Amino acid sequence: MMLVHLPVFLVTIPIVASLLILAAGWHDRRFCHPIALATVLFQFGAAVVLLFGVMRGGPIHYHVGGWAPPLGIELVIDSFNGFILIVILLLSAAAVVYAKRSVEKEIPADKTVSFYVLFQLLITGLVGMTITGDIFNLYVFLEISSISAYTLISAARRPHSYVASFNYLVLGSIAAGFILLGIGNLYVATGSLNMRELAVMLPASYELATVHSAFLFLMIGFSIKAAVFPLHLWLPDAYAESPSVVTVLISTVMAKVSVYALFRILFTVFTTAYILDSFPVTGIVLFIAAVAIIAGAVLAIGQDDLKRLLAYSSVSQIGYIMFALGVANQIALEGGLLHILGHAVMKGCLFMVAGLIIYRMGTSRLSELKGVAKTMPVSCAAFALAGASMIGIPPTIGFMSKYYLVLGAFEAGHYLYAAVLLVGSLLAAVYIWKFIEVAYFGHPHGEEHGHAAGGGRNDRGKREAPLSMLAPVVTLALLCLILGMGVEVLMENVIGPAVTLLLGGA
């Protein structure tokens, strides 16, 4: 039965596909996109099948090559990473659809093939990180995705994109070094690299300095990768200077997988007993998260470039997810996981709109985008909807995760931190409104205010971006609303069990 091997196909088939892209693309560049699209759709389909399998029959364990865990690599899919898998592949699929015209516009034709190869490898590396049950294997996939990402960021070929890529390379390598040290320490302490085994063996050595330092190394390493404030310094440049579609991918999929890895290490490898009792970090995580929420949002407000504004907003939003980690009760973590989904969908949508605007208007500077909503009404409406979700206006998904987070914080008695969360959403309103005001109520130079526009009949030509780019944008924007309305179904079937799993430390 081939279905049994589905977990490993999730990684191997895309790797083969990336070679296929290289070979076929050599022959004719037009083959690249269909192959990439078919692959990501296969992955998404497989992820859906796997998640349903998990929901019915519990976690799926797959031993690569038939080698049992202590020796061989184990792939594990449970309700937590099954959910993450769906999120990242949904966003990847949207990004690949979006990529076609965006790449044609932004990437030199002779680099198209290598771009798609790396794009495919990036997605594959991230999927691998998500499904592996082996921490060294996690590191290998982390490096695959990171190296692809460094290259893709510089593919924009703007003067500053090389600097952005290099900065990220340096910080990313430091992070990778930390992570490797952490893994090494854990191996020294226990002699195992399998996550499940570690979880069983570690409690005996919880008081060892080796384990404490391993924990810190891993925390810091993954915090750099996830751009947790104040380790976010690589992020704004990397997001703002990449090609549009790369921004979409790294801001949603890659950021979420890094956060996932952090959660996985904290809850599955170390278990709640460690992070609450042996090495209490939740207090400091909560504090850092609160600072991140406010600082990211304040920095976002100060930006004039739309992509950079959204990048700082990500710093703030990562803070929301870390906030859940800091509160660490059932309901807050539910909110945190929901926000992983919600933020991926809305930020993906917002960055895609930024890409559409660059595609049509050639700039993402707010001061040059006055009245852009008249030219691109559908894109801007999508931005407004996803933006409302970012602010947390009900009934969008952004409101629902905020509600759970605040409820969790109240329940844990963190009233002040809950207030920070609410202030953060107010600041989000300010930076989202910067664009809304410019796009909808700004007047391009030379056009009179108000009445002189005359009955609204002198529509300047509407020039939306191509349909293949617009469709994923609209889909994601509507998802903000649909997921918000259907949040109860998600909570009941997927997120609730996932959080129980995390807190149970299984």
Partner 1 sequence: MADLSALLPAATIAIPLLGAGLILATGRHENIRESVTIAAALAMLGTVLAMLPAILGGGKISLTLLPMVPGGDFALRVDAFGMVFALTAAVLWLLNSFYAIGYMRALKEHAQTRFFFCLAVAIAAAVGIAFSANLVTLFLFYEVLTIITYPLVVHIETPAAMKAGRKYLTYLLIGGIFLLAATILTYLLTGTTEFVPGGFLAGSGAALTLQVLFLLFMVGFVKAAWMPLHGWLPAAMIAPTPVSAFLHAVAVVTAGVFGIVRVAGWVYGMPLMASLGLGVALAAIASFTIITASLFALAEDNLKRRLAYSTVSQLSYILLGVSMLSVAGMTGAMVHIPFHAFMKITLFFVAGAVIVAAGRERISDMKGLGRKMPVTALMFSAAAIGICGLPPLCGIHSKIFLMVGAVEGGMPVLLLVIIASAVLNAAYFLPIIYTMLVDRPADPHALDGVAEPPLIMLVPIVLTAALSVLFFFNPSVPFMDLVQIAIGEITAGGLP
Residues in contact with partner 1 by CB under 8 A are 331, 388, 391, 393-395, 399-400, 403-404, 406-407, 410-411, 418-419, 422-423, 425-426, 429, 433, 437, 440-441, 443, 449-451, 453-456, 485-488
Q: What is the nearest approach in angstroms of partner 1 to the Cβ of residue 369?
A: 15
Contact 398/387 with Cβ under 8 angstroms? no
Q: What is the nearest approach in angstroms of partner 1 to the Cβ of residue 485?
A: 6
Pull the structure tokens for residue 253.
């999929």
Contact 229/292 with Cβ under 8 angstroms? yes
The Cα–Cα gap between 132 and 143 comes to: 14
Closer to partner 1 at the Cβ: 183 or 388?
Answer: 388
Q: What is the nearest approach in angstroms of partner 1 to the Cβ of residue 337?
A: 15
Other C-beta atoms closer than 10 Å to the C-beta of 492 total 10
Class of residue 159 by CB neighbours under 10 A (exposed 0-12, middle 13-18, buried 19+): exposed
The Cα–Cα gap between 118 and 396 comes to: 34
Class of residue 460 by CB neighbours under 10 A (exposed 0-12, middle 13-18, buried 19+): exposed
Closer to partner 1 at the Cβ: 358 or 490?
Answer: 490
DSSP for residue 276: I
Q: What is the nearest approach in angstroms of partner 1 to the Cβ of residue 489?
A: 8
Q: What is the nearest approach in angstroms of partner 1 to the Cβ of residue 395?
A: 6
Closer to partner 1 at the Cβ: 207 or 437?
Answer: 437
Q: What is the nearest approach in angstroms of partner 1 to the Cβ of residue 393?
A: 5
Pull the structure tokens for residue 503.
């807190």
The Cα–Cα gap between 40 and 379 comes to: 24
Q: What is the nearest approach in angstroms of partner 1 to the Cβ of residue 18?
A: 42
Exposure letters 315-336 (e unless 16+ CB within 10 A, then b):
bbbbbbbbbbbbbbbbbbbbbb
For 226-271, the DSSP string reads: HT-TTS-TTHHHHHHHS-HHHHHHIIIIIHHHHHHHHHIIIIIISH
Per the rule left: phi > 0, alpha: psi between -120 and 50, beta: everything else, 63 is beta
Q: What is the nearest approach in angstroms of partner 1 to the Cβ of residue 358?
A: 25
